[in-house]
Amino acid sequence: MKPLRAVFIIVSLYYACLYCPLSALAEQQADHMAGVCYEYIDQHGNLVTLASRKPARGDEIINSKGYHYQVSGVQGNTAQVKLIGKDKIILSYMDYYEQIKAAPVVSSQAWQERPVGIYHTHSDESYLPTDGKASIPFNGGIYQVGDIFNNTLQEQKVKVDYNKTPHCPHDANAYYRSRRTAVKLLEQNPVAIFDVHRDGIDDPEFYRQIISEQDVTQIRLVVGRQNPKMSANLDFAKRLMAYVNKKNPELIKEIYLASGNYNQDLMPTALLIEAGTYTNEKPQAENGVALLANAVPEMLGLTPPPRQEATELPKTGPQGWGTVLFIALLVVLGGVIFIFINNSEEKVKNYLLSKIDQLSRRRG
């Protein structure tokens, strides 16, 4: 009986970690609360960013220009940040995407069958000017923003698994409750999962922009630092920001590495996105996520790149070509690693064997 008891304990621990990891319980307070605002100020007194999320020492911000900051201290509603420098990886992605017409597609046919998952941890979040309230429990305006994201993806023939389960109240345990929804989405083997939110700062102009001749809100990507898959989540966020902003400059405002988990330990392509703030008009947020959805499928390799006569690369000398090839290798290698992470060993093995068989037939 002892071996059976040991197996039972191991299985119980596995499911306990799956549905309730210690890091998921580490969220200190609810974020995205309307009317809460923290200022992030650098050593020269310049405003770096605003957020309703409570900052913690060690949090990081990477803006759309590639500047990388880290929180060094917090006093009241002010976070002191220091400039680390420019993020070399995101700069390489930005440079690479600027030199080609379409994102490189490193995928298998199986990827084409995998959906994009969407859900809302804070299902009450709303947009005051349009919805009349900043918070509508169980039926927030954020659902309409999610609908636009969903519909725009489906218009591009992308499969979507949109789970509208509410997770109210809007408290520190919301991510614990929404974890069950995220685990449910995993059953469909998604290629990526997006938890869609809005911010809670007061200033609507902080997110508002005119992009592609549309009145939109910018988008912030959030990556949880208390998460064993943080490196993969962050790389996904960097590639997404670089490619999306190539198509629609400044659409993604920044990447925020926060003290938290946000259920991102479940898969390497799980992201939290913030579409504007509660004082923005909801159509602005809808326009923003629609532009995001137009770029996501191609970046993930869910849709083929547009037809083109030839890939345009800059005319350069031998040293320049070496840089271009290095960046290309970096992006392709990231895609290959992405395949191995997101598929079982058996699927990867079968895919590679099929490609080898195809090559041998062509040579024969």
Q: What angle do CA 239, 244, 246 make, to 5 degrees?
A: 100
In this prediction, residue 66 carries a pLDDT of 98
Q: Which fold has domain 86-300?
A: Aminopeptidase (3.40.630)
What tokens appear for 18 in the block?
A: 């799956």
Dihedral class, residue 300 (left if φ above 0, else alpha if ψ from -120 to 50, else beta): alpha
Distance CA 276, CA 253 (A): 10
- CA 341, chain centre distance (Å): 17
Enumerate the β-bridge partners of residue 272.
Answer: 195, 222
Q: Let me know if 177 is exposed, middle or buried by CB neighbors in 10 A (0-12, 13-18, 19+).
A: middle
Which helix (H) or strand (E) segment is 318 a member of?
helix 318-342
pLDDT in tens, 94-103: 998 888 765 5
Residue 30: predicted pLDDT: 75
Summarize pLDDT for 300-331 with one digit per residue, the tens. 875 544 443 433 433 444 454 454 455 555 55
Neighbours of 183 (CB within 10 A): 14
pTM: 0.78
* Residue 82, C-beta contacts closer than 8 angstroms, at least 6 positions apart: 42, 43, 69, 70, 72
Within the chain, which residues score under 50 in pLDDT? 6-17, 19-20, 22-28, 106-108, 304-318, 320-321, 323-324
Helix (H, G, I), strand (E, B) or coil at 191: coil
φ and ψ at residue 324, rounded to 5 degrees: -60, -45
Six-digit token pair at 287? 């326009």
Query: Residue 356 CA to chain centroid, in angstroms?
Result: 34
d(Cα 326, Cα 328) in Å, to the nearest integer? 5
Looking at residue 334, its pLDDT comes to 53
What separation in angstroms does the CA of 175 have from each of 27, 142, 228, 231, 256? 8, 16, 17, 20, 18
* Look-up of token digits 């790149």: 305
Quick one: tokens of 76? 């009241």
Query: Which pLDDT score is estimated for 363?
Result: 54
